[in-house]
A = this chain, B = another copy of it.
Amino acid sequence: MAASIIDSIIFQGIFTTDAMRQVWSDENRTQKYLDIECALAKVQGRLGLIPQEAADEIVSHCHLDQIDMVKLRAQTERIGYPILGVVSQLNALCRDKLGEFCHWGATTQDITDTATALLIREGLALVEADLQAIADALAKLCREHRDTPMIGRSNLQQAIPVTFGYKMAGLLSAVLRHQERLQQLKPRVLVGEFAGAAGTLASLETGAMETQAGVCAELGLGQPVIAWHTIRDCIAEVGTFLGLVGGTLGKLSMDVKLMMQTEVGEVYEPYHHGRGSSSTMPQKRNPIASCYIHAGISTVRQHAAALMDAMVADHERSTGPWEIEWIVLPEAFCLMAGALKQSRAVLEGLEVDVARMRANLDITKGLVMSEAVMMGLGPYIGREYAHDLVYDICREAIRSDRHLLDLLCEHPEINKHLDRPALARLCDPAHYLGQSGVMVDRVLAAKARQDASRQA
């Protein structure tokens, strides 16, 4: 029985992914606790802080299948935290009281925070893979539609032409920056915690810093410059990173939703039988994936605020703020996994209706080309006069519901300079795409550089 949408049997496949749920599952979290206790025993055995025999015995029991999860729940509810329960079970599993050397010098939050760093690492790896796939899918669309004209819209009004590739390249530029942000934040957040009750490691008379360094190395995490039990900027930064990625996916979903409108019809989410269609309204093609993206990312930005709230910790171990992270961090990752999955599916399978894009460029009967016409006539009749004249003709076009080109051709001050073919060329959206292609190329080049430097 699940109450959250993330764990709902019915909805989990929509709002998150199995892989990300696996990361934040009770099982994986508990295994991480064991991995850390294992690393700690290994390192302390090696350093001679605990008997090697104890280290070996402890290491041999750090497997999830030896933990009684039902008992762990009861222990957690009684104590308020699961770590002591895990340690006591582990202790009990060891022969000859060797388990006493388990958790040596550690405090509950050391294990919890280090586990969080490990889970974040796994979570970010999934995010990173999806970001790369999204970047690749966007790049493919950029290349294929570098020169596909469509109308650009400003304030939801048709403005002037752009290309569909240009539209995708804008999104891609943001994804490239998200990838950069991710690389920059990783060394900050992927650090271990091993610091004892108040962060001073007083619990180890000798070998304290060596143990800390060793455990972090064992787990592939950075060593912290100081305890971070109540210094939580890096956790909150992960939340804001997810929120920022969410904003970009939200922009993607917004544009897809708008382009899928019956009245626009320029792109479609990939078709799956029965999905996004209606049994009584066959004309409908619902942007289902975009709905889910929108909902997920709208929630995650609130999670980001909650994680910044959690930074306001008291003294050496906080009284409530820390637990905000427990609630919010798994959800933010799980919801973002869903939004990334849906976004990736949308982009990898997007149906682009090039003909409809072209047709929509014409529905204003040439008015969207007025800026181009003003500019094109400038050299002949002066820029300012051209502006005023074309503006007047456009208003006449609206009033009479005629095509701008026809009115231009009829106008004596204009047709004495340019004939119909020349004016038709001025009114052709494909000739007013500006630097769309150049900008696409710039973004693709940036992607190539970034991909190369990451592989290097």
Contacts and interface: CB of A to CB of B under 8 A. Distances in A.
Given A9-B69, A10-B82, A157-B262, 20 more contacts: A2-B7, A4-B7, A13-B76, A14-B77, A79-B275, A100-B383, A153-B314, A153-B317, A156-B261, A157-B283, A159-B316, A173-B231, A197-B281, A203-B371, A225-B446, A240-B244, A246-B308, A251-B314, A280-B387, A286-B319
Contacts of A178: 233
Contacts of A383: 100
Interface in A109-154: 152-154
Interface string A282-295: 11111110111111
Contact of A5 (B228, B305, B327): B327
Given A281-B368, A283-B158, A26 B4 contact: no
A192 interface: no
A70 B9 CA distance: 8
Interface in A14-44: 14-16, 20-27, 29-30
Q: How many copies does the complex hold?
A: 4
Contacts of A25: 1-3
Given A156-B257, A433-B200, A290 B319 contact: yes
A214 interface: no
Given A3-B7, A244-B240, A174 B233 contact: yes
11 contacts: A2-B21, A5-B327, A10-B76, A78-B275, A160-B196, A160-B202, A209-B438, A226-B442, A232-B251, A257-B319, A294-B320
> Interface majority SS on A: helix, strand, loop or mixed?
helix
B372 A202 contact: yes
A15 B287 contact: no
A118 B70 CA distance: 32
A234 interface: yes
* Most central of A203, A236, A251 by chain B CB within 10 Å: A251
